[in-house]
Amino acid sequence: MPNQTTSRITCDLTGKVAIVTGAGRGLGRAIAETLAAAAAKVACVDVNADGLAEVTGAIQSAGGTAEAFACDVTDSRRVGEVVNEVVKKWGGLHILVNNAGITRDSLIMRMKDDQWDSVIAINLRGTFLFTRAAARPMMKGRTGRIINIASVAGLMGNPGQTNYSASKAGVIGLTRTVARELAARNVTVNAIAPGFIATEMTDALGEDILTGVKKQIPLGRLGDPQDIADAVLFLASDAAGFITGQVLTVDGGLTG
């Protein structure tokens, strides 16, 4: 199919069904488009209806297969419905990318309860709910790839992001544990820890802060969403069949 992405690796996911959460923009959109370009059928999940319409429209216009599923990832009932609908529509589920996430930054002494609760709910609870729901059809089919988008903030911490860092550290712990639980059924579970990637989320930091960030990165630049999408594509492929319980850091050398 025509590829509106600029993926630098080649992978054939014909016959595979994928769910990507937070697919309406940024990293999620790049991941959804990349998986679709590799011929996977992609269920795009988000609370943003306009973003969902844009990404599914772009995928379909490029010749791919995608459908929008409006879903609050913290809603256990709706998460179960989405997984069931995807399996019923396309006959199975092979790839889950838990990407949905938010930030609500503040120093610990100023952080409000709702700032903590909302970030933990979406970033960690949402990952748990979709992983639990997807595990059943994957175990039944004796194959699956679960790929969780963590962050270097979950590895090294980041001032002003107690909630975000804690949520992403939790995602890493969840990843390593579930990998052990599902390995016997040929379901791999891995995490990707992006560094600073050029998205709307990092744009909000402002040019002065971003200039300082770039000075800390050995490669001297922010990452591109495609850098993360390509890492997802690799972990979703047959080439990664013996990799599970791992955290792949994609950060330009920031934590090296």
CB-based contact 148:96 (threshold 8 Å): no
Tokens for 238? 């047959």
At 42 the three-state DSSP class reads strand
Place of tokens 């107690």: 162
Question: Which amino acid is residue 59, in one-letter code?
Answer: I
Contact partners, residue 161, CB within 8 Å, separation at least 6: 103, 105, 153
* Active site members: 164
To the nearest 10°, the Cα dihedral for 171, 91, 51, 130? Answer: -20
What is d(CA 99, CA 101) in angstroms, rounded to the nearest whole number?
6
Q: Give the side-chain half-sphere CA count within 13 A for 102.
A: 17
Task: Write down the residue that tokens 């993360």 correspond to.
Answer: 228
Q: How many CA atoms lie within 13 A of 199 on its CB side?
A: 21
Site of tokens 């990165």: 217
Quick count: other Cβ atoms within 10 Å of Cβ 165?
Answer: 20
Q: What share of the chain is helix, strand, coil (3-state, %, to 5)?
A: 50, 15, 35
105: phi then psi, degrees, rounded to nearest 5: -75, 145
